[in-house]
């Protein structure tokens, strides 16, 4: 049966690859992955996490950001990431619902909801 999670895909508008690279690669520190040649014509960009899981940004037209469904990334330096996102112009909303575990929400450059949660 199910053994784990391979990847999560988020939608982005056409020609959003550079903004995705700045956010997911630059701010979040994910490593960009080479897409299989058969998929390069579709646009989008792929990133890898240190545990082998992947995040795919795929072009969707017409585009509409996800306001409720979202990935939740585990982050060992939650305060530092919140500061970094804030300095990058991204709103950070702390949520104490799972106390004592800390977490906050933000949006990627396309308005998709992203959760960051402490270990």
- On whether residue 75 sits in a domain, the answer given is yes
- On whether residue 13 sits in a domain, the answer given is yes
- On whether residue 1 sits in a domain, the answer given is no
Residue 49 has a pLDDT of 96
CATH number for the domain spanning 73: value is: 3.10.180.10
Low-confidence stretches of the chain (pLDDT < 50) are none
Q: Secondary structure of the chain: what % helix, strand, coil (to 5)?
A: 25, 30, 50
**Start-end of H helices in the chain:** 17-20, 78-87
Q: How many domains does the chain have?
A: 1
- On whether residue 2 sits in a domain, the answer given is no
Residue 67 has a pLDDT of 87
Task: Give the range of the structural domain holding residue 33, as residue numbers without chain letter.
Answer: 7-117
Residue 114 has a pLDDT of 98
Residue 119 has a pLDDT of 87
Residue 96 has a pLDDT of 94
Residue 37 has a pLDDT of 94
Partners of 46 in the beta sheet? 33, 56
- On whether residue 40 sits in a domain, the answer given is yes
- On whether residue 111 sits in a domain, the answer given is yes
Cα within 13 Å of Cα(66), Cβ side: 17
């Amino acid at each position: 049966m199910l053994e784990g999670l391979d990847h999560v895909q988020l939608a982005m508008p056409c020609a959003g690859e550079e903004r995705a690279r700045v956010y997911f690669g630059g701010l979040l520190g994910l490593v960009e992955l080479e897409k299989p040649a058969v998929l390069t014509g579709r646009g989008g960009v792929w990133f890898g996490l240190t545990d082998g899981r992947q995040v795919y940004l795929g072009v969707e037209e017409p585009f509409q950001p996800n306001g409720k469904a979202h990935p939740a990334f585990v982050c060992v330096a939650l305060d530092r990431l919140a500061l970094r996102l804030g300095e990058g112009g991204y709103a950070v909303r702390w949520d104490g619902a799972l106390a004592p575990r800390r977490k906050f929400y933000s949006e990627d450059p396309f308005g998709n909801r992203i959760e960051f949660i402490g270990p």
